[in-house]
Every structure is written in structure tokens, then in C-alpha cells.
């Protein structure tokens, strides 16, 4: 469920008409529904209420401070993959003891920052990372709490770029080497092994891969108990999918019930790292039609947003529903919705049936809350769009539209030129 609805043929976000925001903000811009974000987070968190658990929002899916603040106010945690994301999570008020740090390429500076910040734990993804973390923690006179991220080798049906649980992916440590890695970690003076972790991919709409991964982690957990490890945390990562088109992902309650059945009576804290399932359908991208154009074989609707604002369709061939902000055209046509970026790959929809948009019409690109602004760039020297949050009858700009001066911030022409 989301709070983007039509009232008398006008698209609203909660109780605010999108056209009213356009008048104040211009286009393009991202619009987020506070009610949708909070509802999705509560539903997911409460599905596990009878388990000792921590819900850590996946910051990479959307890292705006205002959005992270919502999770801080609801006592949520953060799953981070960089020093910058750690900085953002702390700035938003998420407490360090609810922050877990994943990612295969943590730099020494990032490790120091995380140790100084007293985060909950590191999800370690290689032997060399483990050694580096031990050295750095020792030099700081600290101990680093870690979980070892294991590659469970389970089959997932998602885009290959967002599969993360196979040996051909760069993430995690293989099942066959996992116990050896745990033993190596135990010998390190500045490492405190407290967890077991995995993450098998993103936009998964079937529960079975999660259950298969959990079963394999439970097997490893039993072996670690025999080896006298004190494992207190089991991190199952994120990855639960959403409906973009006609997908039928499981409800978080169904997901939780299935996990709990496999987990059984294990005395362990479950860590979950949802991102897309919380924020994906809580945000949309609003853009305006500049021109329409027809060729012998194609009809194009050219808008003022581009692939630099939302790269998912060209990167993943992902589907985003296309809706009018104001329902004024009864005629439907087959067209490509494209942007102004100088790339043939600059599109949001290809050969899609959509309203017969005309110049000046406003278009809503739906399900754009996750991996959208967070992946935006300045390609073609295009300023990134504004971001807006709506709460009831109120809306606020939560990120200003970039200016041309912002584009060259930090750049300088050397004296020898």
C-alpha cells in the first residue's frame, strides 16, 4: 500500500496535490510519502515482534537525512556500506549500537571511523579484510565486533547485477571456507566474533531462497557451537522485493512466519536489513513533458528528467509504472518515455502503452523511492533534482535542487593553465 492516489483526476501524495508541489518546486523532483515510509517500516518491524531482532534500514537504497531520521525516531538501525553512509546515519540520529557495516572494500580510514563511532558490528567479507581490521583495531586499542558474511550458494531469480549469494559474486566467504575463517578470527586478539551473516540478493519475490539460506546458516551455526563460539547474532540481510509491475512478493508477516519456523528455538538475535521493501513504493519521480516526436516506427515522449536522475531502467531494464499527474487524456498510445541525456539508453519506458502526453503535461514515474536518487549523477552536467517529503497536508523540500554552481564545487583550474 502507498499514499499516492487520485482525487478528482489529480494525483495526490497523501493530502497534497502534486501540481501544488510543482508550482513551488518545479520539475523534476522526487516526492516521498511520510505515511507510506512509516507504515512500511512498522509493518516489517512488527512482523518480527515476538523475536529478539534488530531492523536495520539499508541506507544504500535511499540515504536522504530526512528519510533516515524517520527510522531513528522509530528506533530502527542502519545497514551501511561506506564511511559516507555511516556519517549520514549518525547525522540523522541513528544510534551507533544499531549500525552494522557491510561491504567488500572497507578502507582503513572507514574502519577507523566506524571503530571510533562504536558501531554494533562489521560484516566481514574476506580474510584480508579480517586481518586489516584486526591490525587497525589493535593500533587503536580496541576490539572490533564482527560477523562473518557467508555465501550460502542458493538459487535466486533476480537481475544478475543484484545477485549476491553465489561464488561468482564478489561478496562474502564461501561455505567450505567459513569455519576456517571463523577459527582464524578467533586467533586474532582484536577481533570479537559474535555473528554470522549473509545477503543473497535484491528484489526477491519468493520466500524459498531466504529459507534455503537460513537453513545453511543454521547448519554453520551448529558447527560453530560445537567449536565453542559464542554467536549471538544472525544477520539474514535484506532483499525482499516489491511490486513494480505484476510481481507478487510475500507480505512481511508471511516472510517473518516462514523464517521463524526455520529458525526454531535458537537463542539468537536476528538482524534484518530491509531497504526496497520499505522505501521503494514510498517515492515517485515527477517530470514534465518537453516535446513529443514521431518517426516512421516510433513515438517519443521527451521529458525533463533523464537517466542521470533515475538510471534503473537502463541499468537493470527495470519497470516503473508511468502515470499522469492530471488525468486529461483518454487516448492511449504506444510510446517511449525518454529524457534529454545524450545516450540512446536514456529512457524510462520503451514501447509502453501510456496516455497521449503532450508538451507541458506532468508525468509520475512510480516506485522510485529505492535505488533512484541514491544512484543519481551529474552526467551531461545536469544538476540533480530536488527531493520533497509530504506528511499529511504539509510538504517540505528535503534536498534543494542543485545549481550550476554546485556542479563545479571543488573544481579548480591549475595555475599552469
CATH number of the domain residue 45 falls in:
3.20.20.10
DSSP of 235-288, one letter per residue? EEE--B---SSS--PPPHHHHHHHHHHHHTT---EEEE---HHHHGGGEEEEEE
- The answer to whether 376 and 304 have CB atoms below 8 angstroms apart is no
Contact in structure between 125 and 104 (CB atoms under 8 Å): yes
Residues 262 and 345 in one domain: no
154 pLDDT more than 80: no
- Same structural domain for residues 271 and 292? no
Residue 412 falls inside a structural domain: no
Residues 25 and 91 in one domain: no
In a domain, residue 110? The reply is yes
Residues 137 and 217 in one domain: yes
Is residue 417 assigned to a domain? no
State whether 296 and 356 are in the same domain: yes
Active site (annotated) includes residue 31: no
| Residues 265, 261: Cα–Cα separation, whole Å | 9
pLDDT category at 275 given cuts 50, 70, 90 is very high
Residue 413 lies in a domain: no
Are 244 and 300 in a shared domain? no
89 HSE (CA, 13 A, CB side): 33
SS3 314: helix
Nearest to 289 by CA among 306, 300, 304: 304
Do residues 248 and 291 both lie within one domain? no
> How many domains does the structure of the chain reveal?
2
Q: Quick one: the chain helix, strand, coil %, rounded to 5?
A: 35, 30, 40
Task: Report phi then psi at 219, rounded to 5.
Answer: -60, -45
β-bridge pairing 53-58 and 77-80: parallel
Helix axes 208-226, 252-263, angle to 10 degrees: 30
Instruction: State the Cα–Cα distance between residues 53 and 124, nearest whole angstrom.
Output: 20
Is the alpha carbon torsion for 13, 15, 21, 23 positive or negative? Answer: positive
Q: Which among 406, 375, 400 is positioned nearest to 388, based on CA atoms? A: 400
| Nearest Cα to Cα of residue 221 among 187, 267, 156 | 267
| Domain identity same for 311 and 179 | no
Assess whether 28 and 59 both reside in one domain. no
Domain that holds residue 74: 34-277
C-alpha dist (Å) from residue 49 to 44, 256, 257: 9, 10, 11
The grid coordinates listed for 375 are 544512484
Domain-embedded: residue 414: no
> Which of 277, 295, 315 marks a domain boundary?
277
Which tens digits make up the pLDDT trace of 164-187?
A: 444 556 677 888 888 999 999 999
Section 393-416 average pLDDT: 98
In this structure, the answer to whether residues 185 and 44 fall within a common structural domain is yes
Report how far residue 244's alpha carbon sits from residue 366's, in angstroms, rounded to the nearest whole number.
Answer: 8
Residue 416 lies in a domain: no
pLDDT in tens, 211-228: 888 898 989 999 999 999
CATH code, domain carrying 293: 2.40.37.10
Judgement on whether residues 99 and 229 belong to the same structural domain of the protein: yes
Whether residue 302 lies inside any domain: the answer is yes
For residues 140-155, give the mean pLDDT: 89
Of 259, 277, 295, the residue that ends a domain is 277
Backbone dihedral region for residue 351 (phi beyond 0: left; psi -120 to 50: alpha; all else: beta) = left
CA–CA separation, 320 and 340 (whole Å): 18
Of 108-112, 154-158, 239-243, 328-332, the least confident = 154-158
Where is average pLDDT lowest: 16-30, 165-179, 241-255, 284-298?
A: 165-179
- pLDDT computed for residue 159 by the predictor: 40
> What is the grid cell recorded at 37?
515510509
For residues 392 and 299, membership in a common domain is answered with: yes
Mean pLDDT of all residues in 184-198: 95
Could you tell me the three cell numbers for 1?
Answer: 500500500
Helices (H), 187-228: 208-226
Residues 123, 72, 41: CA angle, nearest 5 degrees: 85
pLDDT for 136 beyond 90 = yes
C-alpha–C-alpha distance, residues 217 and 227, integer Å: 15
Residue range 183-205: mean pLDDT, rounded: 91
> Given pLDDT bands bounded at 50, 70 and 90, which one contains residue 329?
confident
Q: Which of 87, 88, 89 is nearest to 78 (CA)?
A: 89
Residue 415: inside a domain, yes or no? Answer: no
> Measured between alpha carbons, how far is residue 42 from residues 11, 49, 55, 210, 266 in Å?
25, 10, 10, 21, 24
Amino acid at each position: 500500500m502507498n499514499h499516492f492516489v487520485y482525487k478528482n483526476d489529480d494525483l495526490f501524495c497523501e493530502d497534497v496535490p502534486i501540481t501544488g508541489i510543482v508550482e513551488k518546486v518545479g520539475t523534476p523532483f522526487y516526492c516521498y510519502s511520510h505515511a507510506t515510509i512509516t507504515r512500511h517500516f512498522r509493518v516489517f518491524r512488527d512482523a518480527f515482534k515476538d523475536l529478539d531482532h534488530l531492523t536495520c534500514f539499508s541506507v544504500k537504497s535511499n540515504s536522504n537525512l530526512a528519510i533516515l531520521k524517520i527510522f531513528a525516531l522509530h528506533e530502527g538501525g542502519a545497514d551501511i556500506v561506506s564511511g559516507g553512509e555511516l556519517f549520514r546515519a549518525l547525522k540523522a540520529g541513528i544510534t551507533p549500537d544499531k549500525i552494522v557495516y557491510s561491504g567488500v572494500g572497507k578502507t582503513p580510514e572507514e574502519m577507523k571511523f566506524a571503530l571510533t563511532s562504536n558501531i554494533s558490528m562489521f560484516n566481514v567479507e574476506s580474510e584480508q579484510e579480517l586481518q586489516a581490521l584486526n591490525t587497525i583495531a589493535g593500533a587503536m586499542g580496541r576490539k572490533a565486533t564482527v560477523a562473518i558474511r557467508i555465501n550460502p550458494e542458493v538459487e535466486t531469480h533476480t537481475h544478475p547485477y543484484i545477485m549476491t549469494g553465489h561464488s561468482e559474486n564478489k561478496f562474502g566467504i564461501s561455505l567450505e571456507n567459513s569455519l576456517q575463517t571463523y577459527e582464524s578470527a578467533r586467533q586474532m586478539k582484536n577481533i570479537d566474533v559474535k555473528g554470522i551473516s549473509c545477503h543473497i540478493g535484491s528484489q526477491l519475490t519468493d520466500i524459498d531462497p531466504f529459507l534455503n539460506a537460513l537453513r545453511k546458516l543454521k547448519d554453520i551455526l551448529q558447527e560453530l557451537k560445537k567449536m565453542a563460539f559464542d554467536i549471538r547474532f544472525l544477520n539474514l540481510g535484506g532483499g525482499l522485493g516489491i511490486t513494480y509491475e505484476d510481481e507478487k512478493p510475500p507480505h512481511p508477516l508471511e516472510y517473518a512466519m516462514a523464517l521463524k519456523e526455520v529458525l526454531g528455538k535458537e537463542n539468537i538475535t536476528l538482524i534484518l536489513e530491509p531497504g526496497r521493501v520499505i522505501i521503494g513504493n514510498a517515492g515517485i519521480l515527477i517530470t514534465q513533458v518537453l516535446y513529443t516526436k514521431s518517426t516512421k516506427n516510433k513515438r517519443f515522449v521527451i521529458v525533463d528528467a533523464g537517466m542521470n536522475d533515475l538510471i534503473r531502467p537502463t541499468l537493470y531494464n527495470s519497470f516503473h509504472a508511468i502515470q499522469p499527474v492530471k488525468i486529461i487524456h483518454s487516448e492511449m498510445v504506444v510510446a517511449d518515455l525518454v529524457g534529454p541525456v545524450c545516450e540512446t539508453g536514456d529512457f524510462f519506458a520503451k514501447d509502453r502503452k501510456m496516455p497521449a502526453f503532450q508538451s507541458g503535461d506532468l508525468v509520475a514515474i512510480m516506485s522510485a523511492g529505492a535505488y533512484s536518487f541514491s544512484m543519481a549523477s551529474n552526467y551531461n552536467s545536469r544538476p540533480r533534482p530536488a527531493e520533497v517529503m509530504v506528511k499529511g497536508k504539509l510538504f517540505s523540500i528535503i534536498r534543494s535542487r542543485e545549481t550550476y554552481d554546485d556542479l563545479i564545487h571543488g573544481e579548480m583550474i591549475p595555475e599552469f593553465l
